[in-house]
Structure 1
Amino acid sequence: MNMAVLNPLAGFCGHGLADQMRVALMDRVDAKFVVRPGALEQCLQGLRGAYTILDMDGCRRFVYDTLYFDSPDRRLFLDHHNGKLNRLKVRLRHYRHSKIMFLEVKKKTNRQRTVKTRVPVTFESFVDGSATRFLKEQSGLPVAGMQPALFVSYQRITLISTQNPERITIDTQLAFHSPDRTLSVDLPGVAIVEVKHDRHSGCSPMLQSLARHGCRPVAFSKYCVGTSLLYGSQLKTNRFKPLLRSLYGIGS
């Protein structure tokens, strides 16, 4: 994606990580949008007073690395594909700028709420067993059966509302890799915009702007999309084929 489309963000005031943590929204409702470059630029116009942007030492766009885990039979992927109401994802997320790593369990409840729990981890966390205990407690899964399933990298910009408990992430330059790096695919030319609230809200300037410019919410999971792109010939992906066609012109 031509990052010039994010020029409207240059005029946004910045906020720090401590400010952002006050809008952590670990238990939330959210909506995701797949937005093309021209529409994204239009959507951001006029929102300068409504949001601030995460700024750390002059940096406003940050690289995230995420390693997803699943069982050998891809149980977590198939739960999502089959529309299971209570489902989860397990991932190891590395924030390159701050050099912090978290082990996270992200749950989607039957009330369509997203609940995320996480714990900072180091090499010692795996040696002393604390990471394994966290994963077992939060997921209820047999930890010994979990294995690396997908690596995802992308660049993220984060906005928070100046008025409400609302956080917005804009992810670009998505790239998916098999854990051994033998398979790779990029997802150029789109941004994944996610609007997160503590509860459903009709007064979000970003949601209103997205609607004005014809952007509609979609069910988008980085893990499921990346897995489908890399392993679509080996797994059931029918549920995701319309999304894959719109993203990358495949899956027909």
Structure 2
Amino acid sequence: MIALDLNPLLTLFSSIGLEEMGKVRLMNRLDTKYVVSLPVLAEILKCALPDYRIQEIKGQRCPLYHTTYLETQDYAMYLAHHNGKKRREKIRVRTYEVSGISFLEVKNKTNKGRTKKERIQVEGISSLHTEDAEDFLRAYAWYDLSELRFFLENSFGRITLVNHAMTERVTLDLNLYFHNLQTGCDSNLSRLAVIELKRNGRMESPMADIMCGLRVKPCGFSKYCIGTALTSDFSLKKNRFKAKLHMAERLIQQKIII
């Protein structure tokens, strides 16, 4: 059993609102990911207090996100990542539960390791078959809407930090839950956190220093690919993700009371 109440710790951070946060959009950026256990997550937050503010939306500091990923019939986007392609793409609809606003998003990873994201506001997954959404995908995605199907849902709570210099953003995702719309299978990673440092280039970073001090090493971790591997049938290739699945399983099996 896990008892993790981060609220007392989160209230210690100075807050930043959406309007000011818009100055740190970082739609073309370098991402560094980490995966940690819950005790390490709490320690990271304590260390981050002097250098970061926390995003607050309608009084919430860990709002719920819901994402629906689109995929081709032959798993082209999943397999591109699995097979080690440097250039790859993900297409999703993300809903911010606290505001009810949804975006259709296209994320591309370049062969230089940068992440580029384009998005357009939509009314949810039921509104994708519109001229605006189809034009958006034709402009920014590798795939036409007719080639895609709704494939995987996930939800998680997200803590978002921004440094005082407004040059980087850190997202800390916890209570990850997955539902595969094709197999009907569910899975969760509720006993770990996925942390992502987002910045314009390899500039100095308080969070990178914190991770180094706690001996937490970067770890590529795609929520989409791991969720797909956890919930798909045995015929889908998963070899490339076995080490990360085993790591996640070790964290999940920990009996932690905080």
TM-score tier by shorter-chain length is over 0.9
Q: Which deviations, in whole Å up to 9, do the C-alpha atoms of 1:182-206 show, x marking residues without a partner?
A: 21011121011111001112x2111
8 Å contact from structure 2 (residues 30, 200) kept in 1? yes
Aligned to 2:134: 132
1:126 is displaced (CA, Å) by 3.4
Render the CA deviation track for 1:159-189: whole Å, top value 9, x for unaligned. Answer: 1111141001010000000126821011121
Q: 1:234-249 to 2 correspondence within 5 Å?
A: 234-249=235-250
3-state secondary structure, aligned to 1:4: coil
Counterpart of 2:211, as a letter, is L
Query: In the comparison of the two structures, how many residue pairs are matched?
Result: 249
Mapping of residues 180-199 of structure 1, within 5 Å:
182-199=184-201
Structure 1 window deviating more from structure 2 (176-185 vs 52-61): it is: 176-185
Contact 2:153-2:179 within 8 A present in 1 as well: yes
| Aligned equivalents of 1:8, 1:93: Cα separation in 2 | 27
Could you tell me the percent identity over the aligned residues?
35
Q: 2:5 maps to which residue? A: 4
d(CA) in 2 for partners of 1:166 and 1:35? Answer: 20
Question: For the Cα contact (< 8 Å) 1:5–1:40, is it kept in 2?
Answer: no
Q: Distance in 2 between matches of 1:208 and 1:139?
A: 36
Q: Give the TM-score normalised by structure 2.
A: 0.91
Structure 2 vs 1, CA of residues 179 and 154 (structure 1 numbering), >3 Å: closer, same or farther?
A: same
Structure 1 stretch displaced more, 12-21 or 36-45: 36-45
- Residue deviations 1:139-166 (CA, integer Å, cap 9, x gap): 1313211001100111101111111410
Moved more, 63-72 or 225-234: 225-234
The match for 2:178 is 176
Q: Is contact 1:91–1:104 with CA below 8 Å preserved after alignment?
A: yes
C-alpha displacement of 1:115: 0.4
Verify the 8 A CA contact 2:137 2:144 in the aligned structure 1: no
Does residue 148 (structure 1) correspond to residue 145 (structure 2)? The answer is: no
Distance 1:180 1:112 in 2: 31
Which runs of 4 or more aligned residues in structure 1 lie more than 4 Å from their structure 2 counterparts after TM superposition? none
SS at match of 1:190: strand
161-170 or 41-50, which moves further after superposition? 41-50
Partner of 1:93: 94
1:231 maps to which residue?
Answer: 232
Counterpart in 1 of 2:255? none
Alpha-carbon distance, 1:232 to partner? 5.2
Equivalent-residue separation in structure 2 for 1:125 and 1:99 (angstroms) = 14
Alignment of 1:48-59 (within 5 A): 48-59=49-60
Give the residue type in structure 2 aligned to 1:131.
Answer: A
TM-score (norm 1): 0.93
* Ranges in structure 1 where 5+ consecutive residues have no aligned partner: none
Alignment-mate amino acid for residue 43 of structure 1: I
Aligned twin of 1:158: 160
8 Å CA contact 2:151, 2:182 repeated in 1: no
Seen in structure 2, the aligned counterparts of structure 1 residues 144 and 24 have a Cα distance that, compared at 3 Å, is: same
Q: Which runs of 5+ in 2 are unaligned?
A: 252-258
Contact between 2:160 and 2:172, CA under 8 Å: does it hold in 1? Answer: yes
Q: Is the 8 A contact 1:172 1:192 kept in 2?
A: yes
